[in-house]
Each structure stands twice: as C-alpha cells, then as structure tokens.
Chain A
C-alpha cells in the first residue's frame, strides 16, 4: 500500500532515485523476491502442473490428461454463468466502492480541524480480516437473529438470503464493498490533496461553481488514481472476496453467489477434484494478469499531467 502511494507520487513528480553499486539493491530486493517466489510463483507453477493431471484426493496416484480439465470447464454451461456472475459482481462492487470512497474523500478533504478523526475511523474497516467481515455481516443480516434483517421486517421487507438469490447477492456486494472503501478513500484523499489549490482558485474566480470545478478540474486530474483503483478493485473482487462469500452465503442459494474464486474452493476442497480446481485457478490467474498488464501499460502512458 505505501509502495503504491509513493510510486504514484514519485512518478507524478518525475523524481528518480539511483543506487551506486549492485549489492545494496540485491539486499533490499531479496526478501520481497523470496516471498514472491515462495508464496506466489511456486504455487502458481504447481497449479499449472496440477491442472494437467487427474489426481485422487489423497494424492496417491495421478494421471496425465493434458488439457482435458480445461475442455471440461469450457464445455460446462454452468461455468459461463459463474463467469458472468463474477463480472457483474465485481463491476457492481467496484462502482459502489469507488463512488462512496470518492464522496467520503471529497467531504473529508474540505474539513480542516477534525479531518484526522474521520480519516482514522474511515480506515478501520480495511484492517478487518475478510472472514471476520463476512461473519459480521452474517450476524447483521441473519433472517432470524440479525439486527438489520429485523429492522427491514418492520417495513414489511422479509430479508432471507438463504432463500432469495437477490438478497444473497446484495449481501456479498455490501460486505465486499464495505471493506474496500477505506483503501480507495486513502488513495482518493491523497490524490485530491495533490491537486494544486491555485487551479481551483483560478476556476472559482472565473465563476465556476463547486460541481463544475469538480467535473472539469478535480475529476480529470484524478484519472490516474481512478484507473489504478479500478484495476485494484476488480482484482480484489475477483480474488480476495472468497472469505466474504464463504462466511455469508457459501455460494448459494442455488449457485447464485458462486463466483469464480468460490467455485475454485468448492471444486478443490469440497469436491476434492484438484485438477479441475487448478485449471480454474489458471484461468483466473490469466484473467487477473491481463487486467494488471492493462493497468501497467495505461499508467505508464499517463504519467505526465
């Protein structure tokens, strides 16, 4: 997170930091590289390998089947539903998260004295582990004992996410967005505060009202941040929302909240079909990789503002 902020700042101002020799950079890079290799590259390679095999759950035997797992996935009508659901879930979550975060950032930016309190409180949800966030919302919305569910029943609205697909989807969208708003809020706040005040003053002298200033100056200048956040949020919604889904709706009712990442868990850990699950991981990995590539290329092109 800090790296992201400082990278943005460094690039925006065009500063470069260089080291004299080779030892220092290696020593500084080594820990991160080792962590990346062990916890990301190695499991990814394992996934690639496992996706080409058919294994029994205990790993006592395996059979090479080439791309059969992938063919099975692409022929499965249900998988298409899962992909479409994942896309719509991710886009909705991202939109809600970024809109609210931008709103909070704009409001917090205007405060002078008590802004620190608001900033601290708005950042707290980010520190909550996704599984805990899921359980939290499970309690709030449980049809029998949940406070929010009971509150809604006062208005005659019968909340039951065990039975109603739309309720379940709303629940996971709310729970996922809630956690990410803090992260987006921080970036937007930093972005807002790097906009030169002189520009906004000049605009208001020219007769532009608040909304026009926001539309014509602030928002365009926030485009690099916005684009970065879109990609980050989409990746979050694709991958990090597993815990929220598992703790609240477990992919149901039916399979209406089974996102790609949840199906990977279901097929791998409940159905114990590791080959099929790995193949899905590979597909998801390429999808996320493509998104990240787009992000890098676009950000590089939009350095200078």
Chain B
C-alpha cells in the first residue's frame, strides 16, 4: 500500500508539472538527415532558449519526397505540421495549393514581424516568389551543384591539387590520369537530373523549357532534348563504358563512391560539404562546375536547388506567431552565417554573406564561396533564373529513368531525351489543366 501511494504521488506530480507548461508547440517537419539534422536541431534549440512562448519541435520525416507526401497526407487528415520543408521541385505544386498553404509574406505581415524580401539574395528570393515578387515560402537551405575533388588522389595521380578541371575535356583527361594510378573511376554525380540536365542547361544558357523555364506561364514545353544536352548524354554514355564517368544511382546514392575514394571527383550539392568533411579523411577541394568551352554562352550561372519552408493552413491562429518568430530568428545575420558556414548551403541574406566575408571565413576555408560565386557568375538570362514546372517530381524521375535507359544502351541519347520531352510535356499539360 505504501508503494502504491508513492507511485500515485509521483504520477500526479508529473501530470501537474506538464499542465503548468503553457508553451505552444510548433511542429517543423524536415528532411535533413545525419549531421545536417543536428545543425537544424541546434538552431531550433537556440530559438527555444531565446524565448519562452513557443517551442519548435523538429521532426526528421525522411527524404524530400517522403516529407512532402507526408505533409500532404497530414493536411488531408486535418493534422498538418506548422512548418514543412519542401524541396524546390515541389514549389509549383505547393504554390498551386492556395487553400492549404499560408504564404510567408502574408504570415509576416499578419503577425507584424519585420520582413523585407530585398534583404534576401535575388537568385534565392525570386525562386520562391510569385509573379508579383511576394515571397510565398521561406528559403531555408539553398544550394547549387559544385565540383568536389579528392586532393589526395590528385597528388597520387600527379595532378596539381590546387588546379581543378575547368572544362569537360579536362574532366576526361584528369579522369584518365586518375585511372592510370589505379583509381577505378574518374567522376560521378548526385541527383542526375538536377545536376546533369537542369543545371547543365542553365549553366550553358540552354533552356530547360520554354516560358523562362516555367516562371512565365503554365504553358511551358520542355526543351531538354536540345543538341547540347544530347551531346552531353552521349558523352556520359561513352564515358560510362570506361568508368571515366560512373553512374552511382539516383538521388545521393553515389555518395559512397566519392567517400570511399572509388571516384576521384563528384558533382554534388554545395550542402554536401558537411557530409564530406564528416565522412572523409582525405583533403577535398571545391571548384566551379565543368562546362563545354566550345558552347556559346557557357559558363552562364547555375540555378539553386535545396528547399524552402512552407507554412500550412488549418492550425490555430495564435500558433502562427511562433512560425513567424522562428523565420525572423533564422534570418538574423549571425544565425544565417553560422548555418551557411556549418553546412555549405549558400547564405540566403545579403547581410549574412557580408558578415561571413568580414569574418574572413572564405580565406580560412578555400572553396566555400564557390557556390555563391557560381550563382552570381553572370546576370541571369531567361534560361538561368531558375525553374518552376508542375509535376516536376515525376518529370525528374522520368529524366533519371531515361538516363538509365541510355546508359544501358536500351535507347540512344536522342531517343531517351525525346522520350523525356514527350512524357514530360504530358505531365505539364495535365498540371496546366488542373490549375487554370
């Protein structure tokens, strides 16, 4: 009986203490795995410590696709999270769901939290703004593909570790030198569609689709089967035969190839730097993307990837203040610079970029400003402002599929890319039909 009373007292004390805690919980779903997730948690913890009214609860929900699907399912079940991280290719779908999302510029205005879209890097802000220039989602982790190369393996192959390849011709000759000393593969890539087709097109001032890659209208048509893209795919197919280029799968499946030293170089996201530092002992250099120097207009500038934060409708109005305050906190220069320096993602505000420069970070860590330099390499043309195409998650999967068909020799590069355009345009028309 004595023990029973003790347990009852303990249990009631617990319940009483939790009801005294009137903090509002803000749920934040994200796709930042591993070490990156720890950085997100630190930002959330610091925000929580800085004020007592709101508590950000971070939840790692899986891959970008899984997070987006879960958020949609949760919304349909009337239990959405407050904040959800959606990758850039989901932007069109999210923007079209006007009844489900709470545009960020409206949120900040309603909650009377200061917010000016001019504070943000133009390449980043415009990607997530509507045609009137109002920001609909909050940029969180913006990246762009860059070239990583294993300096130790370069030295081993007799290559100058401070002189990375600039053109695809260089990529070929460097790869052959690496292979000459026993390294199995020259280079690989992550996110094949994003890096070898979308960004490839922008960087060479070629259109991904008409209508400014979809930014100017829903009636865009894909143009990924242009002569330069076909030429590049043919090169990839040829290089695969000797493993000058070695395909490592979709998404970021190719990471082990670079981490293990199987491939001497990889084309990967600016945000991959953190994973590389964490997982590799070798010294790694970062440089601009390779290009074809006989292509007119190359190198132009690359376009951003990554994700932004969307606020879901359907929650209690007093809770939204927490989301607004969290965005305000995240945009502070010192928080932003910390996030940029730790992860490799580009700083999303001008102030953060300036602060990082003043701190001498780029001198101490050569290569960390490559991403931002590449994004700002040239004033963007109609082919390199970004992209906004509907059903793009599916279209990317089609590009990956047809790339794999071409690499296996099941289709010629021209057939594969023509198929991408045909199948992709069907999806674009379906999206157009249901959103006009």
In contact, A272 and B72 (Cβ under 8 angstroms): yes
Contacts A57-B97, A144-B257, A163-B247 given; does A270 touch B65 at CB 8 Å? yes
Contacts A58-B75, A163-B404, A165-B408 given; does A270 touch B100 at CB 8 Å? no
Residues of chain A lying within 8 A (CB to CB) of residue B240: 163
Contact of B93 among A57, A59, A253 (CB under 8 A): A57
In contact, B401 and A254 (Cβ under 8 angstroms): yes
In contact, B97 and A254 (Cβ under 8 angstroms): no
B393 interface residue (CB < 8 Å to A): yes
Overall SS of chain B's interface: helix
Residues of chain A lying within 8 A (CB to CB) of residue B248: 143-144, 162
In contact, B397 and A270 (Cβ under 8 angstroms): yes
In contact, A254 and B408 (Cβ under 8 angstroms): yes
Residues of chain A lying within 8 A (CB to CB) of residue B435: 56
Contacts A58-B99, A254-B405 given; does A271 touch B394 at CB 8 Å? yes
Residues of chain A lying within 8 A (CB to CB) of residue B256: 142, 144-145
CB closest chain-A residue, reference B68: A272
Complex CA distance for A253 and B400, rounded to whole angstroms: 8
In contact, A252 and B69 (Cβ under 8 angstroms): no
Residues of chain A lying within 8 A (CB to CB) of residue B393: 270-272
Per-residue CB proximity of B78-112 to A under 8 Å, as 1/0?
A: 00000000000000010011111000000000000
CB closest chain-A residue, reference B404: A253
**Contact residues of A between 229 and 269, Cβ < 8 Å to B:** 250, 252-255, 266, 269
Per-residue CB proximity of A25-62 to B under 8 Å, as 1/0?
A: 00000000000000000000000000000101111100
Nearest Cβ in chain B — how far from A281, in angstroms? 16
Residues of chain B lying within 8 A (CB to CB) of residue A164: 408
**Contact residues of A between 136 and 164, Cβ < 8 Å to B:** 142-145, 162-164
Residues of chain B lying within 8 A (CB to CB) of residue A253: 401, 404-405, 407-408
In contact, A144 and B97 (Cβ under 8 angstroms): no
Residues of chain B lying within 8 A (CB to CB) of residue A143: 248
In contact, B408 and A60 (Cβ under 8 angstroms): no
In contact, A270 and B260 (Cβ under 8 angstroms): no
Chain B CB within 10 Å — which of A57, A142, A145, A254 has the most? Answer: A57
Residues of chain B lying within 8 A (CB to CB) of residue A162: 247-250, 253
**Contact residues of A between 268 and 287, Cβ < 8 Å to B:** 269-273
CB closest chain-B residue, reference A56: B434
In contact, B408 and A163 (Cβ under 8 angstroms): yes
In contact, B96 and A56 (Cβ under 8 angstroms): yes
**Contact residues of A between 155 and 205, Cβ < 8 Å to B:** 162-165
Nearest Cβ in chain B — how far from A47, in angstroms? 15
Complex CA distance for A59 and B72, rounded to whole angstroms: 9
**Contact residues of B between 90 and 145, Cβ < 8 Å to A:** 93, 96-100
Contact of A250 among B69, B75, B250, B434 (CB under 8 A): B250
Question: 5 closest A-B pairs (Cβ-Cβ)?
Answer: A253-B404, A162-B249, A144-B256, A271-B394, A58-B100
Nearest Cβ in chain A — how far from B329, in angstroms? 28
Residues of chain A lying within 8 A (CB to CB) of residue B75: 58-59
Residues of chain B lying within 8 A (CB to CB) of residue A59: 75-76
**Contact residues of B between 246 and 272, Cβ < 8 Å to A:** 247-250, 253, 256-257, 260, 262
B410 interface residue (CB < 8 Å to A): yes
Residues of chain A lying within 8 A (CB to CB) of residue B249: 162, 252
Complex CA distance for A57 and B100, rounded to whole angstroms: 10
In contact, B404 and A254 (Cβ under 8 angstroms): yes
Nearest Cβ in chain A — how far from B390, in angstroms? 10
Residues of chain A lying within 8 A (CB to CB) of residue B374: none
Residues of chain B lying within 8 A (CB to CB) of residue A60: 97-100
**Contact residues of B between 358 and 402, Cβ < 8 Å to A:** 391, 393-394, 397, 400-402
Contact of B397 among A58, A142, A266, A272 (CB under 8 A): A266
Additional A-B contacts beyond A56-B435, A253-B404, A270-B397 (6; CB < 8 A):
A56-B434, A57-B97, A144-B262, A254-B402, A271-B427, A272-B93
Nearest Cβ in chain A — how far from B66, in angstroms? 8
Chain A CB within 10 Å — which of B98, B249, B407 has the most? Answer: B249
Nearest Cβ in chain B — how far from A127, in angstroms? 24
CB closest chain-A residue, reference B247: A163
Complex CA distance for A43 and B248, rounded to whole angstroms: 38
Nearest Cβ in chain B — how far from A303, in angstroms? 45
Contacts A56-B97, A266-B397, A272-B93 given; does A144 touch B408 at CB 8 Å? no
Residues of chain A lying within 8 A (CB to CB) of residue B405: 253-254
Complex CA distance for A273 and B390, rounded to whole angstroms: 12
In contact, B408 and A271 (Cβ under 8 angstroms): no
In contact, A252 and B400 (Cβ under 8 angstroms): yes
Residues of chain B lying within 8 A (CB to CB) of residue A250: 250
Complex CA distance for A162 and B404, rounded to whole angstroms: 8
Residues of chain A lying within 8 A (CB to CB) of residue B402: 254
Complex CA distance for A271 and B431, rounded to whole angstroms: 11
In contact, A270 and B69 (Cβ under 8 angstroms): yes
Question: Please, could you name 13 A-B residue pairs with CB atoms under 8 Å apart, sorted by A?
Answer: A57-B93, A60-B97, A145-B260, A163-B240, A164-B408, A253-B404, A253-B405, A254-B402, A254-B408, A266-B397, A269-B65, A271-B393, A273-B430
Residues of chain B lying within 8 A (CB to CB) of residue A145: 256, 260
CB closest chain-B residue, reference A255: B401
CB closest chain-A residue, reference B98: A60
Nearest Cβ in chain A — how far from B72, in angstroms? 5
Complex CA distance for A246 and B72, rounded to whole angstroms: 20
In contact, A252 and B250 (Cβ under 8 angstroms): yes
Nearest Cβ in chain B — how far from A257, in angstroms? 11
In contact, B69 and A272 (Cβ under 8 angstroms): yes
Complex CA distance for A272 and B97, rounded to whole angstroms: 13
Residues of chain B lying within 8 A (CB to CB) of residue A144: 248, 256-257, 260, 262
Nearest Cβ in chain A — how far from B135, in angstroms? 20
Complex CA distance for A11 and B250, rounded to whole angstroms: 51
CB closest chain-B residue, reference A267: B394
CB closest chain-A residue, reference B430: A273
Residues of chain B lying within 8 A (CB to CB) of residue A271: 391, 393-394, 397, 427
Complex CA distance for A54 and B433, rounded to whole angstroms: 11
Nearest Cβ in chain B — how far from A15, in angstroms? 47
Complex CA distance for A270 and B256, rounded to whole angstroms: 25
Residues of chain B lying within 8 A (CB to CB) of residue A254: 401-402, 404-405, 408, 410
Residues of chain B lying within 8 A (CB to CB) of residue A266: 394, 397
Complex CA distance for A163 and B188, rounded to whole angstroms: 13
Residues of chain A lying within 8 A (CB to CB) of residue B408: 163-165, 253-254
Residues of chain B lying within 8 A (CB to CB) of residue A255: 401
Chain B CB within 10 Å — which of A54, A145, A254, A266 has the most? Answer: A254
